A and B are shown apart, each in its own frame.
Chain A
Amino acid sequence: SQQGEEDPQALSIQEGENATMNCSYKTSINNLQWYRQNSGRGLVHLILIRSNEREKHSGRLRVTLDTSKKSSSLLITASRAADTASYFCATVETSGSRLTFGEGTQLTVNP
């Protein structure tokens, strides 16, 4: 079963614009991770944020985590056509190690 929801389900923007994706989850977590998937291929790990962290940066990526609201957001700045992919959040619960994925956001960046 899915941990929660991602919003929006689909997002279409122009190159150079910023893209923001949101993720909500239901249980207490140890950490939250974001992954990217290109067209039915394997997932690529982007960034991990621990439950005691509020914000993390990696290159053009910025992730925030609000454990009181059980939500996270992924911001991709200055998007490129190559960023076109599906983006998934995944949580790891405090008592385990399995990843529980959200439904994903399909991002399309138009050149």
Chain B
Amino acid sequence: KAGVTQTPRYLIKTRGQQVTLSCSPISGHRSVSWYQQTPGQGLQFLFEYFSETQRNKGNFPGRFSGRQFSNSRSEMNVSTLELGDSALYLCASSDPSRTSGREQYFGPGTRLTVT
């Protein structure tokens, strides 16, 4: 099976702009999670989607939002970008047919730089 893909891989934006990142999960995986990785805060959970519904949300401001489509592909959007949003954004998919606590398969990430 093809792995998790994320587009774009690199992105440079200016403060105040908005950005949309895309994630295609492994075929058959209906759960998609997003994480932010920064040198200061490490890896932090953003949100999880399952069957087009947000199932879980991390402690991030409302500027961060996401959605999932019927084909399980997911997008996340960050509005009114701040310098602190510069990070590696990682998407992960998992197979909900497994028992809870299943492992997640990560994409290569999108490196967002806000100037």
Contact = CB atoms under 8 A, between A and B. Distances in A.
B42 interface: yes
A97 B43 contact: no
Interface of B: 4, 31, 33, 35, 42-45, 48, 55-56, 58-59, 88, 90, 92, 100-109, 111
A97 B56 contact: yes
A98 B56 contact: yes
Interface of A: 1-2, 30-31, 33, 35, 40-45, 48, 50, 88, 90, 92, 96-104
Contacts of B55: 97
A2 B111 CA distance: 21
A103 B42 contact: yes
A43 B103 contact: no
A101 B42 contact: yes
B101 A30 contact: yes
Among B55, B56, B101, B105, max chain A CB count under 10 A is at B101
